[in-house]
């Protein structure tokens, strides 16, 4: 995956603060994937690369690389919409930490 997370900026003193409550850079340091309890896992033997999961992912945490759908686990919150929408039922939902 061609992804480099941005740097998290810590506001330690007043002079560090932006004018308004805004991030100092993009938000790619903010790994919302840490919220996830359930992890979608794609079974590539059954996957037909239809892109339905990519289309429905609300984050979007599904990306297409080398003509294949992939889950970006940095940002996938584990909502399970892809699991539910997959027409081939090839995405399983596995508990994190097991």
Partner 1 sequence: MRKLLMGNHAISVGATLSRVQVIAAYPITPQTQVVEMLSEIVADGKLNAEFIKVESEHSAMAACIGASTTGARAFTATSAQGLLLMHELLHWAAHGRLPIVMANVNRAVAPGWTIWTDQNDSLSQRDTGWIQFYVADNQEVLDTIILGYKLAEKVHLPVMVNLDAFVLSHTYEAVEVPDQEKVDAFLPPFNPEWKMDVKNPRAFGGLTSSDVYMEFQYNHHEAMEQSKKVIAETCGEFEKIFGRKYGLLEEYRMEDSEYVMVTSGTISKTSRIVVDELREKGVKIGILRVRTFRPFPGEEIAAALAGKKKAFVIDRNISYGKSGIFYDEIKGALYNKGMNLPLFGFVIGLGGRDVTPAHLHEIVDYGMKHDRPTEEIIWMGVKK
Residues lying near partner 1 in the complex (CB under 8 A) = 11, 14, 17-27
3-state secondary structure of 52: helix
6 Cβ neighbours under 8 A, 6+ residues apart: 25, 26, 27, 28, 29
Centre a 10 Å sphere on the Cβ of residue 62 and count the other Cβ atoms it contains.
23
Q: Nearer Cβ to partner 1, position 36 or 85? A: 36
**Smallest separation, CB 13 to partner 1 (Å):** 9
Q: Nearer Cβ to partner 1, position 26 or 94? A: 26
CA pair distance 75, 31, nearest whole angstrom: 5
**Smallest separation, CB 32 to partner 1 (Å):** 10
Q: Nearer Cβ to partner 1, position 5 or 18? A: 18
**Smallest separation, CB 73 to partner 1 (Å):** 21
């Amino acid at each position: 995956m061609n992804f480099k997370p941005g740097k998290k900026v810590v506001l330690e003193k007043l002079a560090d603060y932006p004018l308004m409550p805004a991030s100092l850079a993009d938000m790619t340091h903010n790994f919302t994937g840490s919220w996830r309890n359930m992890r979608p896992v794609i079974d590539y033997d059954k996957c037909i690369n239809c892109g339905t999961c990519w289309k429905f992912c609300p984050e979007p945490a599904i990306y297409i690389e080398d003509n294949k759908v992939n889950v970006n686990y940095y940002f996938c919150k584990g909502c399970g919409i892809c699991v539910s929408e997959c027409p081939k039922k090839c995405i399983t939902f596995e508990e994190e930490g097991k």
